[in-house]
A and B are shown apart, each in its own frame.
Chain A
C-alpha cells in the first residue's frame, strides 16, 4: 500500500510508547533507520491493522493525547493510511487529538448517578474548575452505579493511573491534579486508587445458595489457587469428558440465552459456529458493558476473573476457536488489571496456551480495551473495533456465526452468558435449568444497591423487598437507556414476563426512581446519551437522535402536541429503519415514560 505522510514527527516519549507495544521498528518502511537490506529488497508490511486501537491507547495512556506526529508514526508502523487512522481515533471519546492535561476527570452524569444527585457534583466541579472540556468532562455511565454518584480520573503517564471517586459528594473532588494515587494493597490493581472491595457491590456476598456470585467477595480474585480450591476448573474438566459436541448439547439443553440484552439462545449460536467449515473460528467475549445502569459484568470480572477465563476456554473448546478476544470497556481500570493478571497467571500454569491441562487444546486470550464508545458493545461493531476500524455496526446478514471477526466464523458472548456455562457443566443442564440464575444491577432509590443474583421468575416487588427502597417509588427503569420505565411491580423478572409487560430485561438494569427525580431531565439525559453515542452511520439514528433531543428540550419548556407527534414519528422510524439495536431502541424509554408515566401530560 502506498502511503503519503505529511511529515509530522513523534516526540521521543510518543515513539517510546508505541515501541513499547510493538517493539522497535524493523525496517525503514516502518519508520526505523535505513539499513543495507532496505536498499536491497522491498519491505513487506505485516497485516497488523488490528493493533491500531492498542497503539492509540499506548500513546494516549502515556501522553494524555495523540499528536499528529504520534499518529503518523503509528500509521508507519502498522501500514495504515493516516486519514483512516484519524477517522478511527476521532471515533472514540477517551482519545483526544488536541493537547490536554495529563489527568482528566470524568464526572458521570448518567441515569443512575443523576438519580443520586450527580447534578450537584457536576455543578460543584464546574464551579471549582471552570467549564467542561479540558480538565474534566461529563461522562456517560461509568458502571459504578451502586456507589452513585461517581467520577473517574484517568491520568496519563508511565504507568498510567486511575482514581475512582464513588460515591462523590460535591466536596470530595477537591483537586483535579490530585495526589498521586496510592496503592490499595492488591497487586493487580495497584494503579487504581479510591476503589472499595468488590464485596461492597454484592449485598448477598457469602450466601451459600449463590451460583454466579458465589466466589465474588469471598475468594481472593488474584489467587488461582483460591479459585481452584473453590471449585474452579471442574467445569473445564467436565467439558473434556463430554467433548465439544457434548458441551454444546448441555448448553442447548440448559436453555441458556444471551445475557447481553438480545436473549439469543447460546447453544444455537455455538452449534452454528462449530459447524462452519471456514477456519479459524474466533471467540469474542463482549465485556464492553456500557448500558447506563449496568455493572454486573464489572463486578464478576473484578471479583471472579478466573471464572471468565475458564468459561472462555470452554466456549473455545466447544466451538473450535484457537483465539479469543476479551473486549473490555476502557473505563473499567480495575477489571482490566484483574483480568490481565488472571490471564497471565492462567497462561503460566498451563491453563491457557498450547496443550491446556494436557488435553491437547490450544487456546489463548487477548485482552483489548475499548476507548469510550457504547456502540462497540454491539455484536458486529465490536469486530470492527477489534480489527482497528471505526466501531460501526455491520449490516446483517451475514451473521457473526458465518462472517464475524476478520471475516471468519465468530461466536460472541456477553460476560454473564459465559460464566453461566460453568454451573451448567458442573451441575448438569437439568439441575441448572431448574433454578436458572440471573444477575440484576439494582441502583437508584434503594437502600442496598448492588448486583443481585436471583432465579428467574422472581417478581420485581420481591427484588425490591430485598434491596429496600427509599422515598416513594415512582417508577423503575428496566433494561437501561434502551429499556423501558415500568410502574407495575408485580412483573415477573423473566425475558417473557418483561416482554409481556412491554419492557425488556435487557442487561438486567433495575433503576429505581423516586418522586424527587426530575423525569423531564432524566428523559433529556437519555436522549443526550443516544445522540452522543450514535455512531453516525445511518440517517434515522444519526439525525433522529438529534431531533429527539431537540423535541424533548422544547417539550420540557412547553408541552405541544405537534412535538409529541414528531417524537412518535421519528421514534418509529428509528425503530424500523436503523441499522442496529442502538437506533432501534433509542426511543423505547422515552416512549414508555410518555405513555406510562405521563411525563408530558398537561
Chain B
C-alpha cells in the first residue's frame, strides 16, 4: 500500500554536476540518494527528525560560507551541491578522526569502511587523547547501555521522548565533551521512567545500546552475524499486528528488530514484541 500524498512541485538541483529533480521539501540527502551518491551518515535516522549533530554528512553548497549537513538541509531550486569536494572530504575525514579517537566505533556499521575511504587516522591525536571510555551500564536483563560507544547522536533521546515513545526516561546531561545520555541523577534504568520498549536500541547507530543477549554473546565471542537469519513475522500479542524481524543464530532468537518502512509502527515496538520472545 502506498499512502497517497498531495502532489508536490519538483525542483531542480545539481549534485556533483549532475541534474536531479526532487520533490519540494526533500533534503540534500534525499537528492543525493536519487542521484545515486553515497553520503555517509551516523546521526541521521530514517524514522526521526534529523538532528544533524554528527556532521559526517556535510556537503559543499555553492555560495555558502560553511558546509551544510545533507541530512537536514532542504534542497532549494537551483542549488549546486558538491558531495565529494576536497573541502567536504577533508571535513569528513577529521570528523571521523575526532569520533574514532574519542569513541569506540568497533560495532558501528561501516565506520571502518569510511575510515579507510577518507584516509582518517584516529591515532594521530596520541595516546593521551581524551576518550569517553567507561564501563557498560548493565542494570536490567533486557538491554545494555555501553556509553563508551556513544557518539551523542540524540537518536535514543528523541525516540524515547516526543518523537516516538513519550516516556522521557533519558536526556542529554552535562555540557560539551562531558555530556552523556542519562536518566535523572544518573539513576539506574529500573528506577527510571523506562518502559523497555527498546525503541532506543532500534535507532542506535553505533551499538552503544544493544540487547543483553547480543552484549553477552559479543563478550563470549560467539556473536556471528554471518550465521544469523532474519525472519519477519507478525507479533502475536495483541491486535495491532506489528511486524517483528527475528534475528536467529544457532536456532535461538538473539535480537528482535522491526522494519522501519512499516507505515504504522515505523520500527517501533513495545516491551512484549521487542523482548517477550521467551515463549517461542
Binding site for B on A (CB under 8 A): 1-4, 6, 68, 71, 81-87, 90-91, 93, 97, 373, 390, 395, 397, 531-540, 542-547, 550-551, 554, 562, 566, 569-570, 572-573, 575-579, 584
Contact = CB atoms under 8 A, between A and B. Distances in A.
B151 interface: yes
B129 interface: yes
A534 B52 contact: no
Given A83-B168, A83-B184, A573 B130 contact: no
B95 interface: yes
Contact of B177 (A81, A87, A531, A566): A531
Contact of A536 (B125, B177, B184, B185): B177
Interface string B128-141: 11100000000000
B169 A573 contact: no
B87 A576 contact: yes
Interface in B147-189: 151-152, 154, 161, 166, 168-179, 182-185, 187
Contacts of B129: 547, 550
Instruction: Sort A-B residue pairs by CB-CB distance and give the 10 closest, nearest first.
Output: A81-B168, A87-B171, A536-B179, A543-B98, A4-B193, A573-B94, A82-B184, A86-B184, A534-B176, A83-B171
Contacts of A534: 175-177
Contacts of A544: 94, 98
A542 B124 contact: no
Contacts of B101: 543, 547
Contacts of B126: 550, 554
A585 B175 CA distance: 19
Contacts of A83: 168-171, 182-184, 192-193
A543 B102 contact: yes
B172 A543 contact: no
Given A83-B192, A91-B174, A545-B176, A6 B69 contact: no
Given A6-B191, A573-B90, A390 B172 contact: yes
B67 A576 contact: yes
Contacts of A395: 52, 69, 72
A551 B91 CA distance: 18
A551 B170 CA distance: 34
A90 B173 contact: yes
Nearest to A530: B176
B167 to A, nearest CB: 8
Given A87-B173, A539-B54, A68 B98 contact: no
B53 interface: yes
Interface in B5-32: none
Nearest to A92: B175
Contact of B152 (A81, A82, A533, A536): A536
A378 to B, nearest CB: 14
25 contacts: A6-B187, A6-B192, A68-B184, A81-B171, A83-B193, A85-B184, A390-B172, A395-B52, A395-B72, A531-B177, A536-B177, A537-B53, A538-B54, A539-B54, A540-B94, A540-B98, A542-B152, A543-B98, A543-B177, A545-B177, A550-B126, A572-B94, A573-B94, A578-B55, A578-B66
Interface string B96-136: 00110110000000000000000000001110111000000
